[in-house]
Amino acid sequence: FGTSCDDPGQVRVFSLGDGQDSVDDAAIGHAVVTAPLPTVRVRRHVAGSGTTEGGVVTGLTVAGSAPGPVRVRVLETVPAFLRVIPTSLAVTVNDTALDPVSLWRENRMELSTFNGQPSVFELELVLTPGSFATLKYQFRQAFLPLFDFPPDPNRGFDIPSTVVSYRSNSPCRPRRWASPLLGRQLGSDVNGRLVRQYGPSLVIAMPLPDFSMPYNVITLTSTVLAYLFGGIVTSLVRPLDIVAKKLTEAEK
């Protein structure tokens, strides 16, 4: 693919069917296309350390070559095992913080319930070319029950990707396009189409219990019950032997 409006790339075209022994046999030619450049770049990382508290920072950067303001809709989903601190939610645009009251009032902000639905933050921003926005929030990791942990708890828990949606408004002139985001359609303009980008997913380390403790408790309890049950069964099923009493010299 090309890297700019004036740098077109090529896509190899195949016709798959019966009778081809290899991919090269199915090749029928090439098509010159232009890969649309992303208007918004999404970055994301985890803040903090330890397994009790942390935070997530999501950054959006609008390309300076965008022809005009871009209306961006951001969808952030936080699993229920991360207790989001409501007062920590902050959105800044070009280092200018937005009003928290209007942020909660004008956008969709739903906090999670215990072991229930996740927290959902959906907000709409209008960003000018070359501007950047940051979404930050802090959370506390919940202590989960034993059976809620995955088979490999030391790997961590996954946080879903941030979904960023906006209308494509590429500065490139209409050409033949091929894009995994826009459906790989050739010979049509993509301006005005809905673009949905996914930010990187994250992995959070959760507080882990002593997974060997249930085994130790079961082993100790089973040992005590085995001794108790074994003693009772032995006393019930063992035959009684009558032993003649030996008389002493005085009794004789």
Instruction: Please report where in the chains the tokens 């085994």 appear, as a residue.
Output: 215
Over residues 100-117, the mean pLDDT reads 82
**Of the ranges 27-31, 82-86, 107-111, 240-244, which one carries the lowest mean pLDDT score?**
27-31
pLDDT at 115: 72
pLDDT at 215: 83
- Please count the residues of the chain: 252
- The residues with which 139 forms a beta bridge, in sequence order, are 54, 84
pTM: 0.65
Segment 4-58, tens digit of pLDDT: 455 545 555 555 565 555 555 444 454 555 555 678 889 999 988 878 888 999 9
Instruction: Please report where in the chains the tokens 């019930």 appear, as a residue.
Output: 236
Q: Residue 42: CB partners within 8 Å, gap ≥ 6?
A: 58, 59, 60, 162, 164, 197, 198, 199, 200
pLDDT at 171: 56
Segment 173-231, tens digit of pLDDT: 544 444 444 444 444 555 667 788 888 889 988 888 887 787 888 999 999 999 898 88
DSSP string, 107-150: SEEE---TTSSPEEEEEEEEE-TT-EEEEEEEEEE----GGGS-
Separation between Cα atoms, residue 252 and residue 250, nearest integer Å: 5
pLDDT at 180: 46
Q: Is the pLDDT score of 70 beyond 50?
A: yes
**Of the ranges 63-67, 152-156, 172-176, 177-181, which one carries the lowest mean pLDDT score?**
177-181
Q: What angle do CA 93, 95, 101 make, to 5 degrees?
A: 60
Separation between Cα atoms, residue 230 and residue 235, nearest integer Å: 9
